[in-house]
Amino acid sequence: MNKSELVEVAAKEAGITKTAAEKALSAIVGAVVGAVANGESVTLVGFGTFKSAKRAARTGKNPKTGATLKIPATTVPKFTAGTAFKAAVAPKKAAAKKK
């Protein structure tokens, strides 16, 4: 699903225009990106948490030449799925009955 498909579904489900749904989605994405860029975490209960994580410097290998190279430390965005989201994606099978 891409952004335009998501906007279409949101507009239909909320009973609003596609333009209004696109503005709302853009505002939400902008707010999440801005908060995570400022070092804050954004938690949507049941869906998940967006936050920034520090990645330490390390050495890597160029796959073409095999030469080692230094990869600098950086900060990356991270998403952790909530329990309701995890359960919807991979529902647990009913426990097998023991005899």
28-40 per-position pLDDT tens digit: 999 999 999 999 9
Cross-strand pairs, 59: 70
- Are 36 and 51 contacting, i.e. CB atoms less than 8 angstroms apart? yes
Q: What are the structure tokens assigned to 89, written together?
A: 């994606």
**What is the pTM for the complete model shown?**
0.78
Q: Give Cα 19 to chain centroid, integer Å.
A: 24
Neighbours of 51 (CB within 10 A): 16
* Structure confidence by residue, pLDDT tens digits, 33-62: 999 999 999 999 999 999 999 999 999 999
CA neighbor of 44 nearest in space, from 57, 55, 35: 35
Domain boundary assignment for the chain? 3-89
97 pLDDT higher than 70: no
DSSP letter at 82 equals -
Architecture in CATH for domain 3-89 = Irregular (4.10)
Under the banding of pLDDT at 50, 70 and 90, the label for residue 91 is confident
CA quadruple 35, 48, 17, 14: dihedral sign: negative
* Structure confidence by residue, pLDDT tens digits, 7-35: 999 999 999 999 999 999 999 999 999 99
